[in-house]
Each structure stands twice: as structure tokens, then as C-alpha cells.
Amino acid sequence: MFSFGPLEIIAILAVVLLLFGPKRIKNLGSELGGAIKGFRKSISEEEKNSKAEPKTIEAESEEVKSKSSKS
């Protein structure tokens, strides 16, 4: 559909540089990097929680089974 060649990419980057300036672009880059880092951290924490959750459910079901068999 759309294909950007090297000349178009350079032109877009030049316009962005003129609009925002080098200082603002540096700040935007570090903010974007921090956001990506936070996103990856939350994803990895969620994966750890989802892996631990089935173990908790299995342990609870075993506890219920043992209580019901004792009754």
C-alpha cells in the first residue's frame, strides 16, 4: 500500500527535527524508552502471576478434596 524509501524517511525525520528540536526529541526518546521498559516489566510480572495462579488453584482443589474425604 504505502512504501517509504530512504529519501522519504530522511525528509520526515528532517521535518520532525525542525518542528520539535533536538532537545525535545531527546526527551521524547527517553520517555518512550521508559514507557516501553515499564510495559515489558508489567508483562513479565503478569506472566509470572499467571504461571503461579494454576498452582494455587490446584493446591486449593487438593485441600478441598482432602477435607471432603475426611468428612
What average pLDDT does range 47-59 have in this prediction?
Answer: 72
Q: Is the pLDDT of residue 11 over 90?
A: yes
In-domain check, residue 49 = yes
Average pLDDT, the chain: 84
Cα–Cα distance for residue pair 33/44, rounded to 1 Å: 17
Phi-psi region for residue 21, left (φ > 0), alpha (ψ -120 to 50) or beta? Answer: left
In-domain check, residue 27 = yes
In-domain check, residue 60 = yes
List the domain range (segments joined by +) for residue 68.
Answer: 22-71
Q: Which three cell numbers stand for residue 31?
A: 520517555
In-domain check, residue 32 = yes
In-domain check, residue 5 = no
What average pLDDT does range 33-52 have in this prediction?
Answer: 88
pTM for this model (two decimals) = 0.50
In-domain check, residue 2 = no
User: What is the number of domains present in the chain?
Assistant: 1
